[in-house]
Homo-oligomer: A and B are copies of this chain.
């Protein structure tokens, strides 16, 4: 998809020289792979990319990408990224963080950058556990989970990250799975093309502290039946041969034949259908949606900020040191 001028890259142009320190078998490797492959294809000069991460296993991501990168502090990558993007909207700013980083300590910055529609892309590696601190339950862990901090089972109800993103007004909301690399690449591409904030939840396996957390929906055997890929403008179909589909009824969603399936539209004004479908349970009959839940246009904060600066500068004339110093009432002492 590269034009004449667009740079042509290989995956390895995005591999840094740092030795990788994730556990063998960690799902983060697959995501790294997908991101490196995707970035090579986006047609963006590599010096324009900035990866911003928080603290957590996932946040080590930054060190493995041969782009500009900033490994910040726990929970704040979206806020740091907001500053970077506002300071220089030319940069392609991607945030990588964990479910703890992004939704526990960093939840507020997350929802505020969503509502503001700052043009950053946020990838949350959701392994439903705190990896780096050696396995405590996270705000996306299922109730009843036994971990270091919950030896008798956790009691908190988890967030539904998709619902939260919709509620906070994210203009792009998607979900994918670490090991489903072609799907991940497709979503990354769409996130890149979306003008505005993009939220991508990536289900990620932590082999050490939460192994096989997503097996029931992602393993080869069940994947086709338990997942449905929400593709904009396409029928909502699933199954090994895409032979089945979903249809909205006034009060529910029902499984129908492929031909009767509703078309999926992530652009509607209210987002109510996305909200409805993201409530599908992992343990019911309905398939769990992946793909693009929401994709709408809204003014982009970083662009608007610069437009306002230009607009005011045009109206008032560009400020000089002299005009600044001498503004207001002045008088002369001789």
List chain A positions with a Cβ less than 8 A from chain B: 104-105, 107-108, 111-112, 115-117, 139, 143, 152-153, 155-160, 163-169, 248, 250-252, 268-273, 275-276, 279, 298-299, 301, 304-305, 308, 311-312
For the complex formed, measure the closest distance between the CB of A237 and the CB atoms of chain B, giving whole angstroms: 19
Q: How far is the CA of A104 from the CA of B111 in the complex (A)?
A: 10
Q: Which residue of the partner chain B has the closest CB to A273?
A: B272
Known: A163-B166, A167-B165, A312-B152. A115 touches B157 (CB 8 A): yes
Q: How far is the CA of A154 from the CA of B27 in the complex (A)?
A: 41
A279: chain B residues within 8 A (beta carbon):
269-272
- A270 interface neighbour in B117, B164, B276, B311, Cβ under 8 Å: B276
Can you show 9 pairs from A to B with CB atoms below 8 A apart? A107-B112, A108-B108, A111-B111, A111-B159, A115-B156, A152-B312, A163-B169, A164-B168, A166-B167
- The reply to whether A168 and B167 contact each other, CB–CB distance below 8 Å, is yes
What is the oligomeric copy number? 2
A312: chain B residues within 8 A (beta carbon):
152
Q: Which residue of the partner chain B has the closest CB to A151?
A: B312
- The reply to whether B158 and A115 contact each other, CB–CB distance below 8 Å, is yes
Q: How far is the CA of A50 from the CA of B37 in the complex (A)?
A: 56
* Those 3 A-B pairs whose CB atoms lie nearest each other, nearest first: A167-B167, A108-B108, A272-B276
Q: How far is the CA of A153 from the CA of B298 in the complex (A)?
A: 17
Known: A169-B163, A272-B272, A279-B272. A139 touches B112 (CB 8 A): yes
A268: chain B residues within 8 A (beta carbon):
251
Q: How far is the CA of A127 from the CA of B111 in the complex (A)?
A: 20
For the complex formed, measure the closest distance between the CB of A223 and the CB atoms of chain B, giving whole angstroms: 24
For the complex formed, measure the closest distance between the CB of A289 and the CB atoms of chain B, giving whole angstroms: 13
Q: How far is the CA of A299 from the CA of B144 in the complex (A)?
A: 12
Q: Which residue of the partner chain B has the closest CB to A155?
A: B304
A248: chain B residues within 8 A (beta carbon):
250
For the complex formed, measure the closest distance between the CB of A241 and the CB atoms of chain B, giving whole angstroms: 27
- A271 interface neighbour in B111, B275, B299, B305, Cβ under 8 Å: B275
Q: How far is the CA of A299 from the CA of B143 in the complex (A)?
A: 11
Known interface pairs A104-B112, A152-B312; 6 further A-B residue pairs with C-beta atoms within 8 A, sorted by A's residue number: A115-B157, A155-B304, A157-B169, A159-B169, A165-B167, A272-B275
For the complex formed, measure the closest distance between the CB of A95 and the CB atoms of chain B, giving whole angstroms: 17
For the complex formed, measure the closest distance between the CB of A263 and the CB atoms of chain B, giving whole angstroms: 11
Q: How far is the CA of A250 from the CA of B248 in the complex (A)?
A: 8
Known: A108-B107, A271-B275. A156 touches B308 (CB 8 A): no
